[in-house]
């Protein structure tokens, strides 16, 4: 865990440097009239200081790390998180092409079957009915903008 915590502090440190670097490209202005780069630059500086303090804290001080004895992903089904994340990403890319109903049907079918395996009737009816009901509720009743894809669905 200590290694991960130092890694996080270093990531924040690089992020702070990156913000300072990018903010310098914007107009900094003067103290009497600060420009668009002024606030982000000083925030970047603040992040650098805080991340250095964090790194020092984890490197040199005896810290009470509650998760130090156990690994972060041990005994967990992390692959389900990975598959769900990829499924959601694919949904984002295909949503406008396929349309809400079809894309949602495929997404729910995957979740109901592959992530937490349900019985086939639940998978099929659950996916169809949920896609239809949410479309009717949000698009037809509440007029929320949802994309129409193939066959106007």
Partner 1 sequence: MDLFQCIFYGFSVSLEPSNLFACFVGVFIGTLIGVLPGLGPVATMSILLPISFKMSATSAIIMMAGIFYGAMYGGSITSILVNIPGEAASVVTCLDGYQMARQGRAGPALGIAAFGSFIAGTVGVAGLMLLAPPLAAVALKFGPPEIFGILILAFTMVTNLASGSKLKAVAMAVVGLILGTVGLDPMVVTPRFAYGSITLMDGIGLAPLVMGLFGVSEVFLNIEKTIKQEVFKTDIKGLLPSKQDWKDSGRPIVRGGLLGFILGILPGIGAIIPTFISYSLERRFSKHPEKFGKGAIEGVAGPESANNAATAGTMVPLLTLGIPPNVVMAVLMGAFLTHGVQPGPLLMKEHPEIFWGVITSMYTGNVMLLLLNLPLIGLWVKLLKVPYGILFPLILLFCLIGVYSVAGNAWDIVVMLVFALVGYLMKKFEYEPAPLVLAFVLGRMAEESVRQSLVLSRGDLLVFFKHPISCAAILIGFLLIFSPLILSPLRKGFRRA
Binding status of residue 38 toward partner 1 by CB under 8 A: yes
Whole-number Å distance between alpha carbons of 80 and 92:
18
CA distances from 66 to 3, 33, 91, 117, 124 (A): 14, 47, 37, 33, 43
Binding status of residue 31 toward partner 1 by CB under 8 A: yes
Between 76 and 151, whose beta carbon lies closer to partner 1?
76
How many residues in the shown chain lie near partner 1 by CB under 8 A? 67
For partner 1, the binding residue among 93, 120, 136, 148 (CB under 8 A) is: 93
Whole-number Å distance between alpha carbons of 58 and 65:
9
From residue 103 to residue 132, the character string flagging contacts with partner 1 as x (rule: CB under 8 A) and all else as - is -x--xx--xx--xxxx---x---x---x--
Give, as one character, the DSSP assignment of residue 152.
Answer: G
Give, as one character, the DSSP assignment of residue 116.
Answer: S
Binding status of residue 53 toward partner 1 by CB under 8 A: yes
Between 143 and 151, whose beta carbon lies closer to partner 1?
143
DSSP 84-116: HHHHHHHHHHHHHHH-HHHHHHHHHHHIIIIIS
Minimum distance, C-beta of residue 153 to partner 1, in the bound complex (Å): 15
- Helical axes 38-60 vs 2-25, angle rounded to 10°: 160
Give, as one character, the DSSP assignment of residue 33.
Answer: E
Give, as one character, the DSSP assignment of residue 28.
Answer: -
Residues making contact with partner 1 (CB under 8 A):
4-5, 8, 12, 15, 19, 22, 26-27, 30-40, 43-44, 46-47, 50-51, 53-54, 57, 66-67, 72-73, 76-78, 80-81, 84-85, 88-89, 91-93, 95-96, 104, 107-108, 111-112, 115-118, 122, 126, 130, 134, 138, 142-147
């Amino acid at each position: 865990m200590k290694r991960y915590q130092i890694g996080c502090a270093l990531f924040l440190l690089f992020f702070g440097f990156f913000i300072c670097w990018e903010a310098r490209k914007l107009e900094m202005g003067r103290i009497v009239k600060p420009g668009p780069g002024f606030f982000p630059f000083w925030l970047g500086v603040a992040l650098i200081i805080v991340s250095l303090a964090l790194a020092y804290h984890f490197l040199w001080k005896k810290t009470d790390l509650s998760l130090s004895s156990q690994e972060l992903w041990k005994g967990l089904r992390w692959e389900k998180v990975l598959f769900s994340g990829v499924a959601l990403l694919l949904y984002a890319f295909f949503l406008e092409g396929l349309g809400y109903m079809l894309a949602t049907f495929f997404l729910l079918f995957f979740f109901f079957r592959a992530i937490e395996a349900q019985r086939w009737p639940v998978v099929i009816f659950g996916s169809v009915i949920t896609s239809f009901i949410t479309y009717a509720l949000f698009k037809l009743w509440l007029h929320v903008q949802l994309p129409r894809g193939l066959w106007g669905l």
